[in-house]
Amino acid sequence: MLKIQIEYSANQKRRLQIKKYKSQPEKYRLTSRIRNIDLTKPNLVFPLNIPLKFRYIYRPQKHPINVAFHDYINFKLLSGNEILLYLEQYKNLRPSELCSALIELSRREGSSDIDWNKHEWVNQTIQHVKQMLPQYSSSVVTYIIIAIQRLKIEDDELWNKIQTQVEKCYPKFNHKAFGYCFIAFLEKENRCTEEFKNKLQELLPIHLHQMTPNHVTQCFELCIQNNLLNEYLFEQHFHMLFWRRNVWFGPENIAKMLTIYPKLNFVDNINFFEDAIFANIPKIMNQLNENNTKMLIDAINGLQSKYPDLKDGKILKTLNSHLVFCQTKLKTIENAKFYNIVLNDFQKYREQYNPQQQQ
């Protein structure tokens, strides 16, 4: 018997498949079942969870994720006595925690009245810092300098070791770290050698234009105190900053700068005070209070002895009128604020309570 094989085209195969589906609608067609459902009936219940099968591909990572464990001590939330109790166990603290503890201890109320050189636990911590200082990074060294400066710790051996460590890692310092280092070492004479002071003076122009206004003014004062201010450093850096960015410095730094200029051999050939300083003081009137205004008036009056031809009558008139406003209307506005009202009530209560407590 011969078997004849019939070859169908794609369209013919599709038609045969459709006929097969139509011949058995209950088996192949889902729409035939859905037609019997009446959606208008109340209390119609559908299955809540339809179980589905998902294919989950497990791909193990080559390296495990390093999860950050926040197990550090936040010394900003602790009191001074709690910080001292932690310093008693200085060996259990990390280098960053040691820096944070010493810095926060210097910020607590009344810390400036205490001689921390004689404190037992602080002294033990300082001895530990001496031993571990070569292993610390540049950022940790910077924070240790800030903490020791604020706590007024005078230890020649410690400052010598910090000096050697700064000489190793000063290329890693940014402008902020270098400013703290420059101020800390030049603040007192015995903290570093003359060679190290000259080295800091050479590196100062690199970071000076990126420092904060307070750091620039402090560096200017310390350069004059230590006889490190040369002609290049003054004319190309400090004077250019005061000339171009005087508004950025703020009233207090401008007053300090104006008190220093008469001590120098500076000749006002380009009307520096009138065109740059006096003309821009009205731009910072919103920053002036009673103390700042008095400082500016005293500084401008001090310029008359060195520069008798200076035209300062107009700016002195505006500053004096603003000083009267600060002493009268501005003070009443500040006292009328709710925060200041509460503070004044607390102060009156303390004044009444202290005599009763003494009796």
Which carries the bigger pLDDT value, residue 331 or residue 282? 282
* Mean pLDDT value of segment 57-71: 61
Please write the tens of the pLDDT for every residue from 111-151.
888 999 999 999 999 999 999 999 999 999 999 999 999 99
Cα–Cα distance between 106 and 116 in angstroms, integer?
10
Which carries the bigger pLDDT value, residue 21 or residue 19? 19
Q: Give residue 96's pLDDT band: very low, low, confident or very high (50, 70, 90).
A: very high
**Where along the chain do its domains lie?**
76-172
Would you state the pLDDT for residue 49?
56
Q: To the nearest whole number, what is the mean pLDDT of the chain?
A: 84
Please write the tens of the pLDDT for every residue from 183-241.
999 998 889 999 999 999 999 999 999 999 999 999 999 999 999 999 999 999 999 99
44: three-class secondary structure by DSSP: coil
Polymer length in residues for the chain = 359
Cα–Cα distance between 260 and 302 in angstroms, integer?
10
Would you state the pLDDT for residue 34?
44
Task: Please check the confidence at residue 348 and state whether its pLDDT lies above 90.
Answer: no
Q: Give residue 31's pLDDT band: very low, low, confident or very high (50, 70, 90).
A: very low
Torsion region of 98: left, alpha or beta (phi above 0 gives left; psi -120 to 50 gives alpha): alpha
